[in-house]
Amino acid sequence: MTTDTSTHSSEHSQVHPHDGAHTGDETALFGIWVYIMSDCLLFASLFATYAVLRGATFGGPSLRTFVNMPFVLTESLILLASSFTYGLVTLYAHHHNSKAKVLASLGVTFLLGCGFVAMEMSEFVKLIHDGSGPDRSAFLSAFFALLGTHGLHVLVGLIWMGLLFVQVVFRGVTPTTVRKLSSLGLFWHFLDIVWIFIFTIVYLMGVL
């Protein structure tokens, strides 16, 4: 009887940490989904504001007068490519447990994200230099607010990505780093989806 009791207690102690780990993963996953849902509300309000103010140029430039569609298309392809490479990060982390492949894919994603931010910043600098800053009209205020908020999110994602890169370098592909990489993956793919809406609603509809 004593042996059975001690065996049962030992098995319980082995199962309990495992259950706790799953609970922690589920809590983290729930938290990132709650954050993404709140971000959906933020971007929905920005899109609604842009839709209302898109014609309020007040004699200033409209989107058609300054948009460079090949430039925007290249910018979009870079961000979408980063979504693909981050998908490889998740694949290698979950199924291959390869530290080298995770770091390589994460590094490529980081560089693509930096390229996107650099292109967006150059577009903003050019507009401001040409006198088409956010204070020029209500349309430009809404334009800068929407794209700037998205760009800021991408920048935050890059900082997050850099920190995870360092963690993988020193700690390897552990359950903790895999969970963090998965959370960042949800955030990063969400930003790509938002950009698809920006590309369609702001740029494509703006030039038609």
Per-residue pLDDT reduced to its tens digit, 64-117: 899 999 999 999 999 999 999 999 999 999 887 789 999 999 999 999 999 999
Give the residue-averaged pLDDT of 39-43. 96
Whether residue 52 is predicted with pLDDT greater than 70 in this model: the reply is yes
The model's pLDDT over 114-131, given as tens digits with 9 standing for 90+, comes to 999 999 999 999 999 999
Going by pLDDT thresholds of 50, 70 and 90, the confidence category of residue 192 is: very high
Q: CA-to-CA distance for 1 and 115, rounded, in angstroms?
A: 67
What distance, in Å, lies between the first and last C-alpha atoms of the chain?
81
Whether residue 207 is predicted with pLDDT greater than 70 in this model: the reply is yes
User: Tokens 């938290």 label which residue?
Assistant: 31
pLDDT at site 163: 97
pLDDT at site 23: 60
**pTM of the full structure:** 0.85
pLDDT at site 206: 86
Whether residue 20 is predicted with pLDDT greater than 80 in this model: the reply is no
pLDDT at site 14: 41
pLDDT at site 13: 39
Beta carbons of 144 and 133 less than 8 angstroms apart: yes
The model's pLDDT over 135-191, given as tens digits with 9 standing for 90+, comes to 999 999 999 999 999 999 999 999 999 999 999 999 999 999 999 999 999 999 999
Give the residue-averaged pLDDT of 37-60. 93
The full set of domain ranges for the chain reads 2-207
CA distances from 170 to 97, 178, 184, 187 (A): 15, 14, 18, 23
pLDDT at site 4: 45
Going by pLDDT thresholds of 50, 70 and 90, the confidence category of residue 31 is: confident
Q: CA-to-CA distance for 23 and 187, rounded, in angstroms?
A: 21
41 three-state secondary structure: helix
CATH architecture of the domain with range 2-207: Up-down Bundle (1.20)
Going by pLDDT thresholds of 50, 70 and 90, the confidence category of residue 25 is: low
